[in-house]
């Protein structure tokens, strides 16, 4: 059976974290979050981790090359996995092209890009609610929330087009109960 490789997308507050946990359990996937990978590589003191730490220490973004290297390491360390769920990656078309090249070389291409679609007003409401309970500063300021949503939309629009051209982009209605949304994701996976 071929591996199930899913790119999970959605703006801040769309429910990616909640839904990815369910998909990981349901399908036995390995979760690939670039934030988690960066922290793990830094803690392990790997060459990539040390390079990333130096770059982030200067307040710069870690290059595609380093991020792809970390993703490659994680994929190679989990060869027995039933598949992967990519969370927060790819963020650019260059990253998507590099990911495709890496996975296609193993004959394990991306199965689908599932994008949780939630209206902006609902996202703002959810994030302000989360900010009130979590104390996260970036979830407590409506202006910052709207900027993050705009940033997501600007950065991901090209990726939607990229995956649409491959017939892999699937928009998922991200409004409803957790169970309803999970059901829509499972239906899209097939």
> Catalytic residue among 3, 74, 126, 148, which?
148
| Beta-carbon contacts of residue 92 (< 8 Å; ≥ 6 apart) | 64, 155, 158, 159
Which candidate in 42, 82, 130, 168 is catalytic?
130
Contact 123, 188 (CB under 8 A): no
Catalytic residue among 16, 74, 170, 184: 16
Q: Which of 136, 150, 155, 187 is catalytic?
A: 136
Please confirm, yes or no, whether 16 is among the known catalytic residues.
Answer: yes
The total number of residues written for the chain in this structure: 190
**Taking each helix axis from N to C terminus, what angle separates 120-134 and 142-165, rounded to the nearest 10 degrees?**
130
Whole-number Å distance between alpha carbons of 139 and 145: 6
Choosing from 91, 125, 146, 168, which is the catalytic residue?
A: 91
Paired sense of beta strands 112-117 and 4-9, if any: parallel
Residue 58 annotated to the active site: no
Do residues 171 and 161 lie in contact, with contact meaning Cβ atoms separated by under 8 Å?
no
**146 is known as an active-site residue:** no
- Residues 52-83 as b or e (16 or more Cβ within 10 Å = b): beeeeeeeeebebebbbbbbebbbeeeeebeb
Is 148 among the residues known to form the active site? Answer: yes
Which residues carry out catalysis?
A: 16, 91, 130, 136, 148
């Amino acid at each position: 059976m071929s591996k199930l490789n899913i790119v999970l997308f959605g703006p801040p507050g769309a429910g990616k974290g909640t839904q990815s946990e369910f998909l990981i359990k349901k399908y036995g996937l390995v979760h690939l979050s670039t934030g988690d990978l960066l922290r793990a590589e830094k803690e392990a003191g790997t060459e990539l981790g040390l390079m990333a730490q130096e770059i982030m220490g200067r307040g710069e973004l870690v290059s595609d090359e380093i991020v792809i290297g970390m993703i490659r390491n994680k994929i190679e360390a989990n060869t027995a996995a039933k598949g992967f769920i990519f969370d927060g990656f790819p963020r650019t078309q260059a990253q998507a092209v590099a990911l495709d090249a890496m996975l296609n070389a193993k004959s394990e291409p991306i199965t689908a890009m599932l994008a949780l679609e939630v209206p902006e007003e609902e996202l703002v409401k959810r994030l302000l609610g989360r900010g009130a309970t979590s104390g996260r500063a970036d979830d407590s300021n409506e202006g910052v929330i709207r900027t993050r949503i705009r940033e997501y939309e600007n950065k991901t629009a090209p990726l939607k087009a990229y995956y649409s051209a491959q017939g892999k982009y699937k928009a998922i209605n991200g409004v409803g109960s957790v169970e309803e949304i999970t059901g829509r994701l499972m239906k899209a996976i097939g």
